[in-house]
Amino acid sequence: MKWGRAVSVCLPGDSRTRAVVALGAMLGVAVASLAGLWPARADSLPPASLAARVQAVEGANQIRDLLISYGHLFDVRDLEGYSQLFAPNGTWNGNFGGSYVTARGPAGVLAMMVRVLGTPHYDPEKVTGFHLMTNFLIHVQGDHATAWSRWTYFARGKHNELVPSLAGHYDDALVRVNGQWKFERREVFRDIPPEK
């Protein structure tokens, strides 16, 4: 019982206490493993399964960055960069500029943004508002994915205070194009105040 002696050296208390603690630890690991709570060893997973899981995790991280970049590029008025977040046939769908519009592809998205916003200059010293992107639910399957997320637009108030002015959510279909995740379809919804 070399193992038992090793445990008795490592654990405090009398021999009965040490034996009970060691047995409890072994039973806990066994139960957790059977219940699927204990992580499987990486080398025990089928290679394809491990590779797919890693790809899905990496894809979800890249998509999260894409969702955040969308709000950031809009806020700093980088309309060209913003439009490049869309796949060649990707669509932007929602109420913008007072009417429901669908823009297709980077060129169509850029034209829509310029039509509504013009070509505004961003001044970091005079920020008037920004998006806060949250609540990401991302599901990746190979080179395609879906995502759901929330957005809140904060504006500068009359007395220089921070004011949440609009809030809504996005429903997205995404596609990996040449190793980069892009919007295949973005549905933009305004929840508060509700759209008319």
Give the pLDDT score at 97. Answer: 82
Give the pLDDT score at 51. Answer: 86
**pLDDT at position 23 over 70:** no
Domain residue ranges of the chain, discontinuous segments joined by +:
2-35, 46-192
pLDDT in tens, 130-150: 999 999 999 999 999 999 999
Find, among 48, 49, 72, 59, the residue nearest to 133 by Cα.
72
Give the pLDDT score at 32. Answer: 43
Report whether 105 contacts 86 (CB < 8 A): yes
Q: What whole-number distance in Å separates Cα of residue 94 and Cα of residue 98?
A: 10
pLDDT in tens, 48-100: 688 888 989 999 999 999 999 999 999 999 999 999 999 999 999 999 988 89
Give the pLDDT score at 188. Answer: 97
- pTM of this prediction? 0.73
> Taking residues 4-10, what's their average pLDDT?
40
Neighbours of 17 (CB within 10 A): 12
**pLDDT at position 155 over 50:** yes
Give the pLDDT score at 30. Answer: 47
Q: What whole-number distance in Å separates Cα of residue 183 and Cα of residue 71?
A: 13
**Matching residue, tokens 């072994």:** 26
**pLDDT at position 34 over 50:** no
Find, among 37, 44, 56, 29, the residue nearest to 141 by Cα.
56
Class of domain 46-192: alpha beta
